[in-house]
Structures are given as C-alpha cells and as structure tokens.
Amino acid sequence: MVTLSVVRFGSMFAGNQFLHRLACGLVCLVSVLAIPNSPEASSPPHSAPSTNGSPADPYLICEKGKRQSPIDISSTTLQATQGDLIFRYVPTNIHVVHDGHSIQAINEAPSMAVYRGEAYQLLQLHFHEPSEHHIDGISYAMEMHLVHKNSQGQILVVGVLIQLGRENSEMLRAGNWIRQRLGHRFVEPGEEVTGAFMLDVMKLLPENQSHYFTYNGSLTTAPCTEGVTWVVLRQPIEVSPQQVKRFVRAYGHTARDVQSLEGREIRSH
C-alpha cells in the first residue's frame, strides 16, 4: 500500500489518525520539484482495496457512503449562499520529518480560515493530480486541498483548482530549499530536515478568494469520512507543465474519481 506524504499544521492535532491518510502533501510536491527521480508505487493511492462488506471495514464508507467527494460541479444549476470566507494564514517556519510512514512538514504557527463566522485552524495541505473536482465536466491539471478543523471537531476543506500556466514561484522556492538541504535524493525514514524555511500559504491562493462553490461531502481518501464542508474556489492558480510532470513522475496520478451527487445541493457565492 502506498504511503502518502503530508504537510501538517499544529501539533495539537497530531493525534488525528485519519488525517495521516490524506493524499500527497506539499512536501510531496515540492520534493518532486527538487528531485528528478521517483519512488516505486505498488498501487494507486486513491483506490480503496476490495472489501467483504464487514461493518468493521475501514473502507466501507468509501464504497457505500452517500455524501462522498469529489463531485462534478455544474455551475449553471446552483443556488446562491451567504457566508464570507476569510483567510488568516501567516508565514510559518517548517521542518521536514520522515517518521517511517510519511514525510511531514511541521510547524507551530496558528493559521486559520474564517467561514460563516466560524474559525477553522489549518491542519495541513496537500495536492492531487489531476484535479479531483470537475467543473461542468472539465478537470484541471491539479488541485490543492487546505484541510481545517474548528473547536467542535468539524472539518472544512478548501479546494483550489490548478491550471497549466506560469511556474508557481512559492512551490519552486520550497522545492529549492529541499534540494539545498538534501541534494538530489529523497528524505530517508527516520531523517529530519531542519533549517529556517518560511512557507507563505497566502501565496498559494488565487487573487479572488471570495467566489466559491460549497457543498457537504467527505474526505477523498480512506476512510472517506463524511460530514466535511467543502469550499471550492472558483478562480484557479497556475503551475508550469514541468512542475506537474515532476509530480506525476514521482507519485503518479493521485485523484479519486468523481462521486455521485446523491441529491446533494451545491451552492455558490
């Protein structure tokens, strides 16, 4: 089974085991920007293994759930919604650790998003290729997910679509830092990469952050936990074709197929 890399924000959430199973994180992407070779993968990371229908099966909801993500968003049949989305991310120093299971970039700085007046702390961010959400049947080159949690334990995921275009300078800068610390190789199990590197997540967001789609869905990787509030920003950001190729060469295609809407309502702002 493929182990996926995670970028984790805030040690107070380190005990949330399901977040360890989320898809490739920022370090996953910036590592391939810096390192040309790729690890072998035995199976697609977003393909749930076959199950026998047991209630104890951790993958059961991935197959049987009725509020699964991602979805294909039809932009012509949406209801309007109220509720501002405000990002209060601060530049944060990170260091990279390989714990034997995944590569994590760890920091302590509080960053949050405020959605409909509720504060959600940023836990981690990660990337998928191609995009998981589709807009009117069309997928994008990649998609970034920013995973948040509020004080009641509710999950908010902000999806940022990524289209081909100019090189993303913040991702390139992070990749250069990894390369300077390690050279052209991957982080080894048990290894820690230290040194001051300040990641500015705000620079990974599109200019227009107020227009979005929203619906109730799930995590897109096992255990596919439902009850997740999704906000997908309308305006995409850009990465270069070379950056996407490096991601795919190292980690393959990491997107889950779109799931049935099952009568759910999608709203726009």
Tell me the per-residue pLDDT of 78-133, one tens digit each, with 9 for 90 and over: 888 888 899 999 888 766 654 443 344 555 578 899 999 999 998 888 888 999 99
Six-digit token pair at 1? Answer: 């089974």
Under the banding of pLDDT at 50, 70 and 90, the label for residue 77 is confident
Q: Is 0.85 topped by the overall pTM?
A: no
Report the interhelical angle of 169-182 vs 26-34 (nearest 10°).
70
Region 211-240 average pLDDT = 95
Between 62 and 28, name the one with better pLDDT.
Answer: 62
d(CA 217, CA 70): 8
Region 195-210 average pLDDT = 87
Tell me the per-residue pLDDT of 226-246, one tens digit each, with 9 for 90 and over: 999 999 999 999 999 999 988
d(CA 244, CA 241): 5
Of 20, 46, 98, 101, which residue is the catalytic one? 101
Report the interhelical angle of 26-34 vs 241-251 (nearest 10°).
110
CA 218 to chain centre: 13
3-state helix, strand, coil in the chain (%, to 5): 20, 30, 50
Tell me which CATH homologous superfamily contains domain 6-268. Alpha carbonic anhydrase (3.10.200.10)
Six-digit token pair at 199? Answer: 């990641």
Nearest to 86 by CA among 190, 194, 210, 177: 210
Q: Are 123 and 104 in contact (CB under 8 A)?
A: no
Q: Which DSSP category does 76 fall into?
A: T
Most confident of 43-47, 71-75, 109-113: 71-75
Asked about 101 being catalytic, the answer comes back as yes
Q: Are 243 and 33 in contact (CB under 8 A)?
A: yes
Exposure of 138 by Cβ count < 10 A (0-12 exposed, 13-18 middle, 19+ buried)?
exposed
Between 83 and 218, name the one with better pLDDT.
Answer: 218
d(CA 96, CA 99): 10
Task: Give the pLDDT of residue 37.
Answer: 33
Six-digit token pair at 135? Answer: 């807009």
